[in-house]
Structure 1
Amino acid sequence: MPGFVDDLAANPLTQLSLEQLRTRTSIKWTTHPADVLPLWVAEMDVLLAPPVAAAVHAAVTAGDTGYPSGRAYARAFAAFAADRWDWRDLDIDRTAVVPDVMVGIVETLRLVTRPGDAVVVCPPVYPPFYAFVTHGGRTVIEAPLSPAGRLDLAALREAFAAAQRISRRTVLLLANPHNPTGAVHTRSELAALAALARTFGVRVVADEIHAPLVLARAQFVPYLTVPGAGDAFALHSASKGWNLAGLKAALLIAGPGAADDLNRLPEEVGHGPSHVGVIAHTAAFEHGQAWLDALLCGLDANRALLSELVAEQLPGLSLMWPEATYLGWLDCRGLGLHAVQQPGLPLAVTDIAGPAKLFLDRGRVALSSGHAYGTGGAGFVRINFATSPAILRDAVGRMSAALSSASAGREH
């Protein structure tokens, strides 16, 4: 969209002060008291990209706030995917607009599984994977990541075999890129996964919501472009890349071998997306690349800054280097504040009072507690670094002070 490029050179993460951010009414800024720095939920501290803001304003001014229609969203995404990831065979006739990625996942599970069937996840992983799968009456089986935070084929093979014993239909719910570790699965990793899934007759549903947020020195690979992935599904959205969580709309994309399944998607599912949301997401993919590039530069700088701050100010903690997203996975197990999970048993309640609670109570910094992310998450916290460098420095400084306070308290 002409006229916007010059406005997008600035780092989007430095355009709002803490005082301005505290006027927001979203969950990030209203869950905790005003003295808490909220670096937990996946909302970025940015203004809307100018092309997105212009599209939303134009729709509201024109009263274009009815029901969604058409294929503009799918066409915009297909063009973005071709340009960004060289995904050139995406057929928009194998897409459907759904309210958001998690609703799309649930509806896909309803298409290809039955109640009681197994859904494999790779923890530590996005907590709603557990909640939405179990609420939908399916059974979660875990295939934990490797200690390096990457897909573990041996664990996947074991989980697929276990699923076969209890389920006629199995789905792997894949986070690509992975949340919370920020791992970007390589083409070879995904190809090996696709081959293993075909061996066991497992269908893959890939949550690719963070795909636009791959940082320097990594390359996103759409799962549907991998050989052997033709019967899989993928879900995409501009929600994370352009901070549009409050403007609901996502795309469900079927591989060639899943087209008949997609055709069975109930018509009423398409009533859930917001028309203004569809307009916003379409504008993001169609006109928002320059803004996204500026954002990625800011996130890359913040990633490096966070790594430096952790090394300098948080002794005993380590950051798993994120290749994508704006989420840092911090290993706090050296603090000894987490419960140890026994195989097959739920985490002890004491883990909830672990490092995340320490940093909230003593440092007034809200982070996401790792215990909620499943096996392997205990003793970790997730920090959202999609904020200004000043806020990030303040947050880590507070966390450092919290550690010092806790240490002093133990000495007394």
Structure 2
Amino acid sequence: MKNKVKQAVVMKIALYCVPLLVILISVLLIIALTMNNPSVVCQTDTTTTTTSSDSGSSNGSLTDKNSDIGKRVSYIIDRFKKAGYSGDNISAIIAIGWRESNLNPKAVNPAGSVKGIWQWGAGGINGNRYQNTADTVEAQVDLAFKELASSHTVARLGLANAKDIDSSALAWDTGFEGVGASDPQRKVSEVKAWAESIKKTYDLNFEGSLSSGNNAVSDSNTSASNSADSDSNNQSAYCNTDDSGSADGTGKIKESGLSFWDKNSIPDDIKPYVHNITSKKLDWSLTTPDAYNQCAGFSQVYMNEIWSPNFTFRGNGNVTAEVVAKLTGAKVTTTPKAGAVFSSDRPNHTGVVLHVLANGDLIIANQNAVKSGQNAGTSKDYEITLVPKKSYAKDSQAVGYGDMTFAYPGDNSKYKLHW
């Protein structure tokens, strides 16, 4: 009888203690995994994208928080705020969405083959950025974050440096929408008025925490189509420090024709595409003293600033692309790409591609053209040049830029571009 009592007592103790022990072990395991998991560099939010119940209705207004539009505004604010964007950034982004589509995720403009809140190209003359994205606000914000961390980081960098609504709208329009700074379709005054109303209604008086350096800042939402991906995989994709930072084939500017600017007079609509070059401290010991005021000297120094591992090379401007290609295992091509070094034998020039615009024109950094180097009486210097597509094309006789060839070290996975 006593043994049966003892067995009953033991069974009761086990019944209560085992579940508690399991819970305790689970908690300790979670803590251990958390402490041993290195933190992700970029700022993220923790929202999980769910299937949308948004009908795509345009009922309501920007200032009616309880309307369909107001709920969309609140959702976009929440996502971008968690990702580190400022109140001015967010107000401008939403105002531009209002201009483009009345914030309707189902909006379609057949004339331009564009669709969605921010009117992405969906096949046709504007390309197909939209692809198979769902016609929901959630999926389209996912797409925006993906592009801001990859193909359209120039917009994110512009937003990181923006000081107010005006500069935020300029960064989004030129870097994300691909609209020229002076293009009348920007509707600058109207967008500003809408943005100010949004900022006031939703109390968006806060600073952002976006980095203006290399690391992408985005949210880590798992899209409906990628819900099986882990958070770490999403963050890795959005926070890739090896990303080129380029948005080749996008953007419009008001300037045209072969144009030159010294480093202190870069136009505002060009600045988003130069990757903070003015803040770089170039190591001129990577070239020779006789090249301090020459184009080849700048290419040798700047390529080593933006690429790793470093590689030392020499040679005149007209053979620089060939030398870099052989040294890094890349190919010499006639196709420009941000981060590529170029050569021209018209007569003998070199520099580095910073950006390829939507129309194929190039924004480049180089020395000893017009505003820098020996030709301008300076040394250890550079200038920014706009080179029209027709000027660098095969058989072009444009002085310094005709018949360009390019070498992109990133063709070899060993080399990483870090603007």
Query: Relative contact order (alpha carbons < 8 A, sep ≥ 6): 1 or 2 greater?
Result: 1
Q: Same fold (TM over 0.5)?
A: no
Compute the TM-score of the two structures, normalised by the length of structure 2.
Answer: 0.25
Structure with max Cα Rg: 2
